Structure 1
Amino acid sequence: MGKPINVGIIGCGAIIAQYLATFQRLEAIELVAVADLDPVRAQAVADANDGVRAQTVDGLITADDVDLVLNLTIPAAHAGVALKAIAAGKSVYGEKPLAATTAEARQVLNAAEAAGVAVGCAPDTVLGTGIQTARKAIDDGLIGPPISATATMVTPGHERWHPNPDFYYQPGGGPLLDMGPYYVSALVTLLGPVVSVTGAASHTRAERTIGSGVREGEVIPVSIDSHVTGVLTHEGGALSTLVMSFDAVRTKASNIEVHGERGSLAIPDPNLFDGDVELFTLGADSWQTLPVSAGYIDSGRGFGIADLALTPPGEEPRAGGRLAYHVLEVMESVLDSARTGVVVPIQSRASRPDPVQLTASPEESRPQPVSS
């Protein structure tokens, strides 16, 4: 309380650059150590950042000056790293998803509760001005009671640009588990928790050809469904239709639209932190762009960690583990429904995270503790 939270990062892949850029802007976070299975990568990050040391994974987890472990490993390793950190008394914040399965994610949440440490998880894009301005518009009644939403993400496939796309087409990959956390987290933030889902899925090709890098031209197998559609029933009665595809080419529709009795909202890409929110009201002649009215201004990956650091003890962070678990269960259940053809009830409940007032940083949005 009253001082920055010391963070150690495990996993020094491409995504770390975005976190490092954000940390330089946030007083609530002090990066002290990094680790990676490839020690050369960890040392390169340490050399480029003053006051940061490179360590082994186990050494970082047990370091006395690390308060929170930021887990940027591959999804299959998320639960194992988180459980080790929790066992060492550290809070954890991970890249999405919280774990590879809900069974593993439940172990993480249970262990954290027993240890009295906090759990947070990406995406924290929902804390930016895009989703938060849309949420405020809904909460202020600008569209009336929400009736439905659509969330669409289509791309012809990551193999066109990614040099090692194998994971995306193996179990645990696919468009829903890869990009769904952004869209489902946004839908829960906007419309509340999900109580049941129905899903359908398909795939168009048994093989994909890598389009870039040293493996360009190599053919890889596809062992997952690459086009997934789901219908989510929210606790408040709204229905969301989710389309996630590695098969289609492009969409002209808004990434997310929310429709109510008195109007509709076009909402920006939930993979980003900002963007225009447009409103079309009953009887209007055209869409109007709403002024930015809520969310962290100019935010970036890592704002969720600062928000966690400043969350009062006993309260759930906005980008918290319970929300991440709920989102993971929703996605798993959509895929289960696609396999079985039945409606799947959602067992978990995650309250809508507290709204974010329009502000520059988490430090300004929370009452500041008094140093002793």
Structure 2
Amino acid sequence: MNIGILGVGSVFGAYMRGLRAVAGLPVLRLASRDPERARAAAEAAGVPRWGGLDDFCADDDVELVVNLTPPAAHAGTTLRLLEAGKHVFVEKPFAPDVAAAQRIIDAAASADRLLGCAPDVFLGPAGQTARAALDAGMIGRPFAATSFVRSSRVETWHPDPAGYFGPLGGPVLDWGPYHVALLVNLLGPVRSVMAAGVRARDEVAVSAPGRTGDVVPVAVDTHVSAVLEFPGPCLVTAMYSFDVWETTLPHLEIYGTEGTLRLPDPTRLHGTVEFRARGADAWTALPAVMPRLLRGELREFRGLGVAEMAGRLAGGGEHRTDAALGLHVLDVLTALGECSMDSGSRKIRSTVARPAAMELE
């Protein structure tokens, strides 16, 4: 299946590594708002075709497009690609709101096109090792968890960090999708949420190379505390922050009646999952399971969800990062952003089936 990539920004290289080295999928065309930037990226990566969005839509050889445009452009470009007859895998967040996401899903159904959404990191060894441990009953019945995001310090390294502090930015929509998608994979769909947010700063000084001295305004809550209710019931205490720089808190822990699982950074495919039984004196590192979808080199990369889509289109099989999961994650995260200390608990209207565990080697 011929793949195209729309957008050649910071995550582009990770997708190229994954699609080529791991999934073995040919990338036929790159596109960008700046066609010259697409040309330079294509020449560096050995991709034969480049151009803009119009070129993509007119290229009948490109079957599946990976949409890596900025968040504000996700909805419009995805709709345009679907209208052109392309299958689409879009980076998170899926759309600016649930209503827009549903319109995209309806458009995909009308066009009989497959639609997927990042993040797909939970398909990797760390996420699937934790899933296997839970499915085996290692910690008994899960009843609680913690989910913590500290600042990515984006203002120190990104050449244009303004979007991270705008309406479709902030820690909830930037890092939250990784945590919530992983938690849905482990625990099932979110039933309700409570949350409140604050902004520690009104503006952020940018110290990225070449940008020192610039200041960007903060237009979104940059520190959000929340409680998410999962089936069980299982209560997840979440804290997603761009303002906490130093901490000793773990990324994610799951507490069960028989023990605890400690998980690595949910934005990464690899990392050690640890288990500690009740009454045990130490943590035990669990052997990493290896999903059968993986092959080739095992550095950090992106694209397992795209590989599943290609497999589904070629001959069937699971599609775990489908649009239903993307919409549910977006529903949860937008609810977190809309809650306050006075609003109380909020039911999540959407639901989704817990993704099936990966087939392992």
Gaps in structure 2 of 5+ consecutive residues: none
Alpha-carbon distance between aligned partners in 2 of 1:334 and 1:46, rounded to the nearest angstrom: 39
Q: Which moved more, 1:159-168 or 1:89-98?
A: 159-168
Alignment of 1:216-231 (within 5 A): 216-231=212-227
| Cα distance, 1:215 vs structure 2 | 2.6
Alignment of 1:167-316 (within 5 A): 167-295=163-291, 297=294, 298=298, 300-311=301-312
Q: Closer, same or farther in 2 for the Cα pair 1:106/1:300, shift >3 Å?
A: same
Deviations 1:109-132 (A, max 9, x none): 111112111111111110011011
Amino acid across the alignment from 1:19: Y
| Cα distance, 1:287 vs structure 2 | 0.6
Matched-pair contact (CA < 8 Å) for 2:193–2:332: yes
Number of corresponding residues? 355
| Cα distance, 1:19 vs structure 2 | 1.1
Find the counterpart in structure 1 of residue 13 from structure 2.
17
Find the counterpart in structure 2 of residue 364 from structure 1.
none
Find the counterpart in structure 1 of residue 320 from structure 2.
318
Find the counterpart in structure 1 of residue 140 from structure 2.
144
Alpha-carbon distance between aligned partners in 2 of 1:160 and 1:166, rounded to the nearest angstrom: 12
Identity %: 40
Q: Closer, same or farther in 2 for the Cα pair 1:303/1:15, shift >3 Å?
A: same
Deviations 1:284-340 (A, max 9, x none): 111101111253552630111011111267876111111111001000001111275
Alpha-carbon distance between aligned partners in 1 of 2:356 and 2:325, rounded to the nearest angstrom: 12
| Cα distance, 1:251 vs structure 2 | 2.4
Deviations 1:193-243 (A, max 9, x none): 001110111111212111123331122222221101111111331111111
Q: Does 1:6 align with 2:2?
A: yes
Deviations 1:166-185 (A, max 9, x none): 11222111111111011111
Deviations 1:256-302 (A, max 9, x none): 10000000000111100011110000121111011112535526301
- Report the TM-score when normalising by structure 1: 0.91
Q: Closer, same or farther in 2 for the Cα pair 1:83/1:314, shift >3 Å?
A: farther
Secondary structure at the residue paired with 2:320?
coil
Matched-pair contact (CA < 8 Å) for 1:151–1:257: yes
| Cα distance, 1:89 vs structure 2 | 1.5
After superposition, the CA RMSD in angstroms is: 1.8
Secondary structure at the residue paired with 1:97?
coil
Q: Closer, same or farther in 2 for the Cα pair 1:248/1:67, shift >3 Å?
A: same
Matched-pair contact (CA < 8 Å) for 2:308–2:318: no
Gaps in structure 1 of 5+ consecutive residues: 360-372
